[in-house]
């Protein structure tokens, strides 16, 4: 069978599975819709968290980034993995003990103020939309190549499917769909990695293949460094970023993870605090499988790409090149008219490659069987759709629960709230689709900005809310507003040429927009802390509540209020 038939078969089967699960697990109450009734087992929750966490950026973009940036791409690996550990140890158990549905809910109650709640809702929506734009773009890229439709049509199909199972099943449907998506995603990531590792190095384990010798006796990374030097690129294993920028990006991704509303919500879906810790442990194991394989895939893909394309006659390029050329994601411009593809650094380069295609094109470049190519397509879709669904639920819960139920219509019935949640999800899907069609950059860069926004807004408010009893509403509100505005200003100035624009030479302290979340977060901490000392301490009952969250006595006893 050809690739397209296999793709229809495998993607069709996985979609039928997701929709079947959504119908089986549809949400009957708001408790089901927001936190899956709080009855998910730690193992299932670990898988669902891993699927939620490993978005199109992890599956499609991260290895692509590393294969183009080499050593510099490792900031994404360190930041995203480290952030998960931080979240599991520092925040998850305390937030679970608090037992609310959403992050704005925690902030509204902890800071005894509807203004704080509203600011948190706005921050959650900004972060989630920035993130979901990257996911929708990923869905479009996968569909455009494998179903041979334009990227925009791919985005529309993705919107339809996510809307169906996120809106029907709510968190309950999404949780069990994500368990299935994790299995599809990890299988799809590992199968080609194992194949290619064996092809190149004779070693079945990609993590070991990464450090092994290739057929001609040189080590894979040495060979890649040499290929890079011949083409005029920086050494693959050498870094070009300044130390402060590496540190800032890694730290922004770490604390941004810990402030991401759609990941935090996953810890509210388990029965007890102990289960929150356990599911965090499981999730870390599942995430590590993909994250330790990504650098190997990046190196394999980069080596194969250079060897099959550089200096080849354009007339004789392999079939995979023409397949991807039709999507517009790889392009050849013959600048010197010799009919050969010159892939080199700088002005003379004749090849334009979209970084997001590296993982998806990898099995084709390595001549793997057609079913493997189709499987990777299904994996990319599973990764993008699972995260998109989690984000849409955060947006709809922020609107229906934190805005309408908690502020505008306090006497809303459970049934009416469920209707509002579904209407919110519909609105969110439409906006997300718009951003998927007009994206502000390639997937991983857009996603990195979402982490910066989460670091700048939520992280200090959550940390100080748990660990500083003296923290009051005035401090928290001022910190969140200043933090997110500063981050937005920097993003618009240096990423989108707003406010008079700016080049890399103008970066403050030499820190890129992806890393600036670290600075904005420090400013947020300083503002929150400083302002809170000018105003009276929080009421006694709030201080008592903070005391209770912090000491998980009788950890099994924490349930939803």
- According to the model, what pLDDT value does residue 2 have? 83
pLDDT at 442 over 70: no
Q: Which sequence spans correspond to the domains of the chain?
A: 3-551
- According to the model, what pLDDT value does residue 559 have? 47
Pair of tokens at residue 291:
């994250």
- According to the model, what pLDDT value does residue 444 have? 59
Mind listing the pLDDT tens digit for each residue in 210-221?
A: 888 887 878 888
Half-sphere exposure of 508 (CA within 13 A, CB side): 16
Tell me the DSSP string of 384-436: HHHHHHHHHHHHHHIIIIIIIIIII-TT--HHHHHHHHHHHHHHHHHHHHHHH
The stretch 254-270 carries a mean pLDDT of: 77
pLDDT at 557 over 50: no
* pLDDT band for position 441 (cuts 50, 70, 90): low
Pair of tokens at residue 422:
């579904």
Is residue 450 within 8 A of residue 130, CB to CB? The reply is: yes
Tell me the DSSP string of 190-225: HHHHHHHHHHHHS-S-HHHHTTSB-TTSSBHHHHHH
Mind listing the pLDDT tens digit for each residue in 317-359?
A: 888 888 888 777 788 888 888 888 888 877 788 888 888 788 8
3-state SS class at 344: coil
Of 147-156, 165-174, 341-350, 358-367, the one with minimum mean pLDDT is: 165-174
Task: Report phi then psi at 308, rounded to 5.
Answer: -90, -20
Tell me the pLDDT of the chain averaged across its residues.
82
* pLDDT band for position 94 (cuts 50, 70, 90): confident
Of 56-70, 103-117, 438-452, the one with minimum mean pLDDT is: 438-452
C-alpha 401/C-alpha 105 separation (Å) is 8
The stretch 162-182 carries a mean pLDDT of: 77
C-alpha 522/C-alpha 511 separation (Å) is 14
The stretch 221-229 carries a mean pLDDT of: 86
C-alpha 93/C-alpha 279 separation (Å) is 11
Nearest-CA neighbor of 131 among 181, 73, 58, 186?
Answer: 58
The stretch 531-553 carries a mean pLDDT of: 83
* pLDDT band for position 36 (cuts 50, 70, 90): low
pLDDT above 90 covers a percentage of the chain that reads 10
| 338 CB burial (10 A radius; 0-12, 13-18, 19+) | exposed
**Max Cα-Cα span within the chain:** 79
- According to the model, what pLDDT value does residue 553 have? 52
- According to the model, what pLDDT value does residue 519 have? 94
Of 244-253, 310-319, 323-332, 432-441, the one with minimum mean pLDDT is: 432-441
- According to the model, what pLDDT value does residue 558 have? 45
Q: Could you give the C-alpha distances from 115 to 52, 69, 125, 265, in angstroms and in order?
A: 29, 43, 15, 21
C-alpha 452/C-alpha 464 separation (Å) is 18
Nearest-CA neighbor of 269 among 462, 554, 47, 31?
Answer: 31
pLDDT at 479 over 90: yes
Pair of tokens at residue 435:
């951003």
Between 523 and 84, whose confidence is greater?
A: 523
Whose tokens are 């200090």? That residue is 460
> Would you say how long the chain is, in residues?
561
Signed CA dihedral, 353, 355, 357, 358: sign only: positive
- According to the model, what pLDDT value does residue 96 have? 76
* pLDDT band for position 197 (cuts 50, 70, 90): very high
- According to the model, what pLDDT value does residue 90 have? 77
pLDDT at 516 over 70: yes
- According to the model, what pLDDT value does residue 338 have? 83
Between 145 and 20, whose confidence is greater?
A: 20
pLDDT at 28 over 80: no
Bridge partners, 351 (sequence order): 332
- According to the model, what pLDDT value does residue 59 have? 84
Per CATH, the homologous superfamily of domain 3-551 is: Sodium/glucose cotransporter (1.20.1730.10)
Whose tokens are 């002005």? That residue is 347
Nearest-CA neighbor of 383 among 183, 126, 152?
Answer: 183
pLDDT at 294 over 80: yes
């Amino acid at each position: 069978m050809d690739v397209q038939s296999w793709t229809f078969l495998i993607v069709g089967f996985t979609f039928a599975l997701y929709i079947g699960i959504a119908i089986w697990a549809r949400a009957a109450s708001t408790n089901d819709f927001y936190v899956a009734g709080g009855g998910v087992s730690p193992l299932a929750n670990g898988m669902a968290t891993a699927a939620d966490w490993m978005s199109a950026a992890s599956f499609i973009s991260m290895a692509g980034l590393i294969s183009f940036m080499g050593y510099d791409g490792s900031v994404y690996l360190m930041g995203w993995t480290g952030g998960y550990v931080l979240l599991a140890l520092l925040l998850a158990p305390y937030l679970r003990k608090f037992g609310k549905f959403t992050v704005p809910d925690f902030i509204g109650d902890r800071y005894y103020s509807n203004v704080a709640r509203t600011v948190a809702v706005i921050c959650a929506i900004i972060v989630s939309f920035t993130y979901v734009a990257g996911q929708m773009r990923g869905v479009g890229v996968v569909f455009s190549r494998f179903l041979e439709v334009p990227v925009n049509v791919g985005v529309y199909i993705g919107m339809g499917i996510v809307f169906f199972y996120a809106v029907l099943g709510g968190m309950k449907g999404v949780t069990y769909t994500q368990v299935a998506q994790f299995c599809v995603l990890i299988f799809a990531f590992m199968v080609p990695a194992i194949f290619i590792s064996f092809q190149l190095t004779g070693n079945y384990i990609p993590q070991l293949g990464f450090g092994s010798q290739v057929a001609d006796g040189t080590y894979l990374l040495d060979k890649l460094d040499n290929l890079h030097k011949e083409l005029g690129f920086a050494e693959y294993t050498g870094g070009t970023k300044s130390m402060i920028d590496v540190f800032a990006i890694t730290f922004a991704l770490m604390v941004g993870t810990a402030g991401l509303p759609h990941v935090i919500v996953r810890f509210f879906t388990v029965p007890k605090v102990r289960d929150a810790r356990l599911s965090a442990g499981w999730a870390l194991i599942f995430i590590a499988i993909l994250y330790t394989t990504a650098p190997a895939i990046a190196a394999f893909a980069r080596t194969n790409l250079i060897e099959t394309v550089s200096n080849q006659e354009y007339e004789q390029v392999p079939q995979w090149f023409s397949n991807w050329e039709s999507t517009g994601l790889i392009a050849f411009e013959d600048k010197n008219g010799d009919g050969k593809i010159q892939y080199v650094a700088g002005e003379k380069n004749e090849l334009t490659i979209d970084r997001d295609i590296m993982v998806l094109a990898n099995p084709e470049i390595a001549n793997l069987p057609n079913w493997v190519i189709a499987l990777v397509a299904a994996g990319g879709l599973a990764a993008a759709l699972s995260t998109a669904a989690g984000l849409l639920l955060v947006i709809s819960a922020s609107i229906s629960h934190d805005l309408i139920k908690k502020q505008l219509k306090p006497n809303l019935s459970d049934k009416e709230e469920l209707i509002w949640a579904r209407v919110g999800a519909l609105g969110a899907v439409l906006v997300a689709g718009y951003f998927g069609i007009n994206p502000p950059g390639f997937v991983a860069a857009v996603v990195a900005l979402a982490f910066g926004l989460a670091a700048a807004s939520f992280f200090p408010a959550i940390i100080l809310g748990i660990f500083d009893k003296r923290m009051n509403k005035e401090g928290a509100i001022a910190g969140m507003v200043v933090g997110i505005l500063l981050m937005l200003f920097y993003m618009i100035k240096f990423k989108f040429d707003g406010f008079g624009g700016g080049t890399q030479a103008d970066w403050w302290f030499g820190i890129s927009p992806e890393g600036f979340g670290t600075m904005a977060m420090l400013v947020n901490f300083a503002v929150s802390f400083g302002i809170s000392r000018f105003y009276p301490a929080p009421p006694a009952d709030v201080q008592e509540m903070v005391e209770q969250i912090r000491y998980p006595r009788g950890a099994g006893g924490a349930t939803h209020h």
